[in-house]
Structure 1
């Protein structure tokens, strides 16, 4: 197949237009390419039916990448028990034409919120925290009028906390210097003068501030940095080898490069446009498709915490959707969402940031899982029609995962 004619960007070129960087900041944080032939890798133990599914799914994924304005690359990892399939299309890097791989580093965006949920619920299971603990108990330095907000409400986005990423001052700093090194523990200072949006618990409203507060509560009760808690309570138990929370903007190789497609004929590599310190626990984690597969299988099943009460609390669903919305109909739990598709339910989280759109999902027992990554930002504000197409395709992959015979 011949590649689409597009200008190949160099890594250094992505910072040349400061005005474009400012535009990307505003668009991303107020909502927070040649196509190589698609390829599929099937584990030796997969069924013959899976091969037929691969051909259809591969074609659909390739069509997404080849569509005008489509992402330069896409990779989907499906796992059933020990059997793994990888379906991919396009390229991981326009400069080299290398195909996407399951061990490529990438920004997982708001999927990082599920990691903060994993830390918090592990601490609840150990009885270091209670879901009914209020901010005023552990973080008295925060505004008094936020004091009654509980950990449960933070994890379920029913807290009413104002979103720090909507702060004009925060956006102004990023527009001037996308690599600005923020003090991540002080991100909530940008909205400390703001009142709660509504009475805590009254309704759902997705806010990046919630997961910053969750991480701060975890640090307060343990005396341990959030980064270390991630290593001890999440990475190590689940065997995550290539996942970490940086403060800078560098992305290690091999990496799945993310692109801005404002001008589809001249995509801009935005993999290292922003530093992670400005999103921290709400979206700063770097991982790989292989690692987030391990994560969602353990997180959705409750493998990180043995208590049935904790798992039941996590799955107390309310009306609410991830950002962007996932496949099917969404409901919100504690740092996890339930996606009800035409073929059944999966639990997971989505995320998007300049250059990346993510979905991780698994069956409630963790036996079957799917991770779905495209290398451009797709959301309701930027591309509503493309988001509808993406959600439909994600649902098709979920159906293939759930319908496959045991």
Structure 2
């Protein structure tokens, strides 16, 4: 259900009012949304037609693997197509609804990266600036860790969620209603051993994007919610998207999320209501399939960043031995079995798995969601929606190939482990 702008979200009115008070110079970038253009070198070959039967099979495989429900929405030539299976509320029995809102987890990181890259384009900071220059004293090695290192997960900073969610349900319940400051979260690993030297290796860490949020707030003098709103949400008309921290509810029509405990056979835990304060700029946003389609299409289509910043975002390094998965600046690339490359991000937050990807020109986009987590088989099955849509289903349910549908369960060190798979 797409709400009128004045009814977007109950907590959005204050943000809009604050944005309206900003000077014209401060809002100039947010007001200009350039038309999409085909990037140089983009393939003009006909794209495989999406296999809708394979898409539904992937969604059903997701529910068979333990998700109460799953859904996907695809945009491309012709009208948008949405498919859903299962339920969005196990108690009331409401069917999964592709119009409903949900927690998007680490897809938030791409929103955060876009804002920081806009600030870099405006000269507020540089990608190769050390963290120490803007946040003095935050890190003992802040003089060696750069903004680019944070955005690319090459800072070497450990992930504070590893210890926080070592035990899935107890860890979640301990933070469900807590409100952290960003400095508290960074402080959890401030002096912990580093995973690698700055710039030496990819090591996914939520700590990086908590600091990205701090950099946004330092550079603008505003909270990250206000910057998401005025730079991305309002210009693109994303009526179902917001940074909800520290409110615990997902307003409006929404999907309830269910967390699998570590113990086999234990009942699912409804994780819908939480502050998500442990995630902040690394994972505390909500959205809908339609809004995620719009966002990734606009980003890849060149409507949110100037060309040099989009190019910087798309400089990718491999994150797996097979060299089918890559990470840039707050953005993933998956090389699918049919040769198509898709760009976007995955999300894992208690009760929800999300995929939001588009082709390089932004003309085809997919958003898929399952309302569970700590269930690697379900996450893997949901990844099969990418092959179904972008490859015509050639390997979405097949036993061979390099497709996402055949990847093993993610681990904390895996390219897709937004959280330890324990939580």
Shift of 1:200: 0.8
The equivalent of 2:303 in structure 1 is 303
Q: Distance in 2 between the 1:371 and 1:132 partners? A: 32
Q: Distance in 2 between the 1:175 and 1:57 partners? A: 34
Q: Distance in 2 between the 1:389 and 1:78 partners? A: 17
Q: Distance in 1 between the 2:260 and 2:187 partners? A: 33
Shift of 1:328: 9.1
The equivalent of 2:275 in structure 1 is 275
TM-score, structure 2 normalization? 0.74
- 1:77 paired to 2:76: no
The equivalent of 1:320 in structure 2 is 319
Distance 1:164 1:290, change over 3 A: same
- Asked if the contact 1:161/1:209 (under 8 Å) is kept, the reply is yes
Aligned equivalent of 2:391, options 370, 375, 399: 399
The equivalent of 2:198 in structure 1 is 200
Q: Distance in 2 between the 1:173 and 1:189 partners? A: 18
Distance 1:54 1:388, change over 3 A: closer
The equivalent of 1:54 in structure 2 is 52
Distance 1:401 1:299, change over 3 A: farther
Shift of 1:367: 0.7
| Secondary structure, aligned partner of 2:391 | helix
Aligned pairs for 1:184-223 (under 5 A) are 184-223=182-221
- Asked if the contact 1:328/1:339 (under 8 Å) is kept, the reply is no
Shift of 1:201: 0.6
| Secondary structure, aligned partner of 1:230 | helix
The equivalent of 1:333 in structure 2 is 328
- Asked if the contact 1:204/1:320 (under 8 Å) is kept, the reply is yes
Shift of 1:261: 3.8
Q: Distance in 1 between the 2:393 and 2:165 partners? A: 44
- Asked if the contact 2:238/2:291 (under 8 Å) is kept, the reply is yes
- Asked if the contact 1:368/1:401 (under 8 Å) is kept, the reply is no
| Secondary structure, aligned partner of 1:193 | coil
- 1:120 paired to 2:119: no
Distance 1:152 1:340, change over 3 A: same
Q: Which moved more, 1:95-104 or 1:137-146?
A: 95-104
Shift of 1:60: 3.9
- Root-mean-square deviation over aligned CA pairs: 2.8
Distance 1:80 1:166, change over 3 A: same
Normalized per residue, the structure richer in helix is 1
- Asked if the contact 2:353/2:379 (under 8 Å) is kept, the reply is no
TM-score, structure 1 normalization? 0.77
Q: Distance in 2 between the 1:221 and 1:258 partners? A: 34
Q: Distance in 2 between the 1:240 and 1:150 partners? A: 31
- 1:107 paired to 2:103: yes
Aligned pairs for 1:84-233 (under 5 A) are 84-167=80-163, 175-233=173-231
Q: Distance in 2 between the 1:251 and 1:86 partners? A: 21
Shift of 1:374: 0.8
Shift of 1:237: 2.0
Post-superposition Cα deviations, 1:282-335, rounded to whole Å, max 9, x if no partner, equal 1111111121111111123331112x22121111111226xxx9x992111110
Shift of 1:133: 1.3
Aligned pairs for 1:339-350 (under 5 A) are 339-343=334-338, 344-350=340-346
Aligned pairs for 1:353-368 (under 5 A) are 353-368=349-364
Distance 1:332 1:164, change over 3 A: same
Q: Distance in 2 between the 1:354 and 1:284 partners? A: 11
Aligned residues: 341
The equivalent of 1:64 in structure 2 is 62
Distance 1:84 1:401, change over 3 A: farther
Shift of 1:81: 4.7
Distance 1:129 1:260, change over 3 A: same
- Asked if the contact 1:134/1:148 (under 8 Å) is kept, the reply is yes
- Asked if the contact 1:145/1:195 (under 8 Å) is kept, the reply is no
| Secondary structure, aligned partner of 1:114 | helix
Comparing both chains, which one has the higher relative contact order based on Cα–Cα distances under 8 Å and sequence gaps of 6 or more?
A: 2
